[in-house]
């Protein structure tokens, strides 16, 4: 028998667990730990609430959680409730699937002003992440800006632009739904430091902007290279550019009161305002021969009382685990950090790729684990029983997958009309549902 601890119950954690169950059959016991009483990590707290089809992947994770030999152990924070050394002594292998929940910093003056927030904060706020329930983003200004040209920037801009009716069928939390319903936002500027050809936005997500009830995308045709240059792009990127070109060709829909303005070749230099964000000073850029943005010296101001930087994420450092400061994830060699210590997903390779990218990633790491600790071999580790004893000793109340089901049912029972659930946002609310 082999004992494995997976730290983190997001997509990466579930895919590597699935792979381990296949590799070991009944010869492994696997505990999936999470600091929260509720599972799914990015699926619950990161994927946009109006993208329910993406969230449906959690049904597949449920099957994994219900596999014999697998346990969900919620409400246990590694590094707080239990130390990494506890886990490495209790389990044959520990696999870190902690994702990348921290915002990368812009590193420009004015970043500390009120109204300047990271996308992890804003996304966490509208998705019911306990750390950001009290964020209270300023939504009383007419102008907002999102920095970055990736899918997260699109998520943030779209959520800011949507009407209450457009959240039908979503699981946006009530505090965000109500605040956004009263928002005064009219112009959302999406700042990209490079050009249309360099966006990291995918066609489906970009296409959604063309169908918003109250917002119309605005793209300057002058920002594009000659159309022939699109031929060299890979097909997905070419599709995205075609959508952007369509936006640029269409007259702005005057019946729609909101604008979503793509401002390309615009590098933020600083954020200014009197105690709070009022404007971003940006520098016009051009691309050098390596495709990097270089400043032209021309600057201008983009008004914004809400500034969301959506420029990527990093993994939380853990005491005793080597960390790659430059790339913001654990130092690893194809997922191996050290003897009996591995990482998967964004904690392994940084915040790139779709949810599905984590599947082959998890299978690859599980293969390495299985090669190092062949199925049928023994490690003599205490595993889950040892963890339970340690948690009892420390007075930590872990939650099980059945507990999550109880919370889930309670969330579904109090959903407002048209929404699949109303999430409980704070850890004490989860425990209250469980009568603890």
Per CB under 6 A, residues contacting ligand NAP are 51, 106, 147-153, 155, 192-194, 198, 200, 202, 205, 310-312, 351-354
Which among 9, 43, 93 is positioned nearest to 400, based on CA atoms? 9
Give the nearest distance from C-beta 202 to ligand NAP in angstroms. 6
Shortest reach from residue 54's CB to ligand NAP, in Å: 6
Q: How many whole angstroms separate alpha carbon 96 and alpha carbon 87? A: 11
Q: Is the dihedral of CA 74, 80, 81, 83 positive or negative?
A: positive
> For residues 3 and 349, which CB has a smaller minimum distance to ligand NAP in the complex?
349
We find the least distance from the C-beta atom of residue 182 to ligand NAP, in angstroms, to be 26
Tell me how far the alpha carbon of residue 15 is from its chain's centroid: 17
Q: How far is the CB of 284 from ligand NAP (least distance, A)?
A: 14
Burial grade of 202 (CB within 10 A; 0-12, 13-18, 19 or more): middle
Nearer to ligand NAP, 263 or 403 (CB): 263
Please, what sign has the CA dihedral across residues 287, 291, 293, 297? negative
Which is closer to ligand NAP, CB of 50 or CB of 81? 50
Give the nearest distance from C-beta 150 to ligand NAP in angstroms: 2
E strand or H helix at 147: strand 143-147
CB of 93 to ligand NAP, least distance (A): 27
Strand (E) or helix (H) holding 120:
helix 119-126
Nearer to ligand NAP, 30 or 43 (CB): 43
The closest alpha carbon to 267, from 287, 281, 249, belongs to 281
| Beta carbon nearer to ligand NAP, 230 or 253 | 230
Interstrand relation of 266-272 and 293-303 (parallel, antiparallel or unpaired)? unpaired
Determine how many CB atoms are found less than 10 A away from the CB of residue 298: 11
Closer to ligand NAP by CB, 111 or 397: give it. Answer: 111
């Amino acid at each position: 028998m082999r004992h494995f601890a997976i730290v983190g119950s997001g997509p990466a954690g579930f895919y590597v667990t699935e792979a381990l169950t296949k590799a070991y059959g009944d010869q492994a016991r696997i505990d999936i730990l999470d600091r929260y009483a509720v599972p799914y990590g990015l699926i619950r707290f990161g994927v946009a609430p109006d993208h329910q089809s993406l969230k449906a992947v959690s049904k597949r994770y449920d099957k994994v959680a219900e596999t014999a030999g697998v346990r969900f152990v919620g409400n246990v924070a590694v590094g707080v409730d239990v130390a990494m050394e506890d886990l490495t002594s209790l389990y044959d292998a520990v696999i870190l699937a902690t994702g990348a929940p921290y915002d990368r910093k812009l590193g420009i003056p004015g970043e500390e002003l009120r109204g300047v927030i990271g996308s992890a904060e804003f996304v966490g706020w509208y998705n019911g992440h306990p750390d950001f329930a009290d964020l209270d983003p300023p939504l009383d200004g007419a102008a907002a800006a999102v920095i970055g040209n990736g899918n997260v920037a699109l998520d943030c801009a779209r959520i800011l632009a949507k009407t209450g009716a457009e959240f039908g069928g979503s699981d946006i939390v009530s505090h965000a739904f109500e605040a956004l319903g009263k928002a005064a936002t009219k112009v959302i500027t999406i700042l990209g430091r490079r050009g249309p050809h360099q966006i990291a936005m995918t066609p489906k997500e970009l296409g959604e902007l063309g169908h918003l009830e109250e917002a119309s995308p605005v793209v300057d045709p002058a920002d594009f290279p000659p159309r022939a240059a699109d031929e060299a792009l890979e097909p997905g990127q070419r599709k995205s550019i075609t959508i952007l070109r369509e936006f640029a060709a269409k007259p702005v829909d005057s019946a729609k009161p909101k604008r979503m303005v793509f401002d390309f070749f615009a590098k933020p230099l600083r954020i200014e305002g009197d105690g709070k964000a009022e404007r971003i000073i940006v520098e016009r850029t051009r691309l050098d021969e390596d495709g990097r943005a270089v400043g032209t010296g021309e600057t201008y101001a983009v008004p914004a009382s809400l500034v969301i930087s959506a420029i990527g994420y990093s993994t939380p450092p853990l005491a005793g685990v080597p960390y790659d400061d430059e790339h913001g994830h654990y130092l690893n060699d194809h997922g191996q950090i050290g003897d009996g210590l591995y990482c998967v997903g964004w904690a392994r390779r940084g915040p790139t790729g779709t949810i599905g990218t984590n599947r082959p990633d998890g299978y690859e790491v599980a293969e390495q684990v299985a090669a190092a600790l062949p199925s049928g071999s023994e490690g003599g580790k205490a595993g889950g029983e040892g963890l339970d004893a340690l948690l009892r000793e420390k007075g930590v109340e872990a939650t099980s997958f059945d507990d999550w089901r109880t919370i889930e049912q309670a969330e579904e029972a109090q959903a407002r009309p048209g929404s699949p659930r109303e999430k409980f946002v704070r850890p004490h609310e989860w425990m209250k549902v469980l009568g603890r």
